[in-house]
Structure 1
């Protein structure tokens, strides 16, 4: 699939999921020798070469057939799989985490790494049935868990979360968590609860975390966020000029004017301001959070 270049990571270069092949083990076995295999450690890091680029051996180098490997999809006639390193006897010169890869790798490699990480995390965390506790057997090339005891079926889980750039018309509402580096700020985010619409989640999360009442909001974009398995649903929201009052989740929440936001975006996000410099540091360029901040700034400075 092709289209406009995304302003954040884990979207561009997505594989053709080729769902019809998940029930075709014979074809997958035929594709295996020339297939590429993304290999991940249990901590989510991927195999990398000496140059820290993606190290994805082909099936012939691994040997055998797909076995327990998860079929990720197709690209230009070549199959891609994911496999846990502990199941293989091969090694690689280095390991790399997904956040680092997203800033260093091309879009396709980072996106396929993200898909592999999310799927292997689901396998690791869902080895047993949530209904009866029986052991799951993964079928459909890794995309369906079947309980050997009660027959329940389990599908890959994605946790939906909203992320919102909230403005009072002239200022942007940002919060910071206690475990973040000094002076790091970002937009407000939170998970969707059962029975909620996305718009209701935006209003509830912003009110709970900051005490600010959202008047209206609109959806603008989404980003897979495999840390470990979320989908971030981005909104631009309008709110009254309430004074922020933080709850239990945030260390602080404040309104920031356009000049402060502009200076924060111009600063090296990975370093942040010196203690005596003042100013703020904002979210990494790989994130939809930063794109939402940039989108808000563009809307108030046109």
Structure 2
């Protein structure tokens, strides 16, 4: 299994690790306040500020104090989100930093953590940030407008007026390496850094299969007709709450043309892609200032590109 996107629990289809997460989410404990309170003293607690940044130490590493270190704060286990248990049985929680008197010298955003932190630390941070985002945007019921009370250790909201139940949601999106047999289709958005190109992606619409989404999105964004696709891998993408479902696809050699979503789309040869991989990521000292710059290594997009490239004949 490639570990290119390990910080966000990337797994290939059929991989041995496909059924394992960073933590055991231990759903059985979410309704057991006694068990959660028993875990709290020795648990590790990720503290998030109002911007969703995690507390870190002087070296920028995750600063997750034990529960007993912040027990004097007004939050504590009652206001904390239970993330799960690690392999040692230690509980992991997330808590709004403003609810405690605990301080740390630095704050780290999720993208930086994904690139720099160990996979476990980045994964639990991503989980904590996604739940914080959901809670902050679902304070009121979408049915009647009543206030939502959070229960089940942070995993369920119940309207205090109409009793409607609300749960964290994940938005499915396809991301696809499209090839005409010899070339790879890549596109770029106007807001991206100069020369940045990536594979095609888009959200699943109601009533669609994933395969139908692949064909529709590629056609809408590039005008290229897909006639076959195959699922390869998935990756949670917590910016703020998508699940990227990675595919490879065979397509016609249509000339790409773009609409409103992309600034440009074009076919790249294996040699083009190989040189882009050698060039390094944006800002790398290896960047020669020419040719496309590929997606960051933390993303499934980059893995899909390299997966396609590995199947191409070596030009040397």
Shorter-chain TM-score category?
over 0.9
CA offsets 1:135-158 (integer angstroms, 9 cap, x no match): 111100010000000000001110
Q: How many residues align structurally?
A: 299
Counterpart for residue 74 of structure 1: 85
Counterpart for residue 179 of structure 1: 191
Whether the 8 Å contact between 2:39 and 2:91 is mirrored in structure 1 is yes
Instruction: Tell me the distance in 2 between the aligned counterparts of 1:33 and 1:275.
Output: 49
CA offsets 1:164-200 (integer angstroms, 9 cap, x no match): 0000000000000001111110000111111110001
Residue 10 (str. 1) matches residue 8 (str. 2): yes
Counterpart for residue 46 of structure 2: 38
Shift of 1:95: 0.5
- Residue number among 287, 295, 300 corresponding to 1:283 in the alignment: 295
Query: Partner of 2:30: helix, strand, or coil?
Result: helix
Instruction: Tell me the distance in 2 between the aligned counterparts of 1:58 and 1:263.
Output: 47
Query: Partner of 1:300: helix, strand, or coil?
Result: coil
Instruction: Tell me the distance in 2 between the aligned counterparts of 1:5 and 1:216.
Output: 24
Query: Partner of 1:117: helix, strand, or coil?
Result: helix
Whether the 8 Å contact between 2:150 and 2:157 is mirrored in structure 1 is yes
Instruction: Tell me the distance in 1 between the aligned counterparts of 2:2 and 2:291.
Output: 31
Q: Unaligned regions of 5+ residues in structure 2, if any?
A: 11-20
Query: Partner of 1:66: helix, strand, or coil?
Result: helix
Counterpart for residue 259 of structure 1: 271
CA RMSD of superposed structures (Å): 1.6
CA offsets 1:37-93 (integer angstroms, 9 cap, x no match): 111122221111000000001110110540111000001111000111222221110
Whether the 8 Å contact between 1:183 and 1:272 is mirrored in structure 2 is no
Q: Unaligned regions of 5+ residues in structure 1, if any?
A: none
The 5 A counterparts of 1:117-266 are 117-266=129-278
Per the normalisation by structure 1, the TM-score is: 0.95
Whether the 8 Å contact between 1:39 and 1:56 is mirrored in structure 2 is yes
Instruction: Tell me the distance in 2 between the aligned counterparts of 1:135 and 1:60.
Output: 31
Per the normalisation by structure 2, the TM-score is: 0.91
CA offsets 1:224-256 (integer angstroms, 9 cap, x no match): 100001100000001000000101000000000
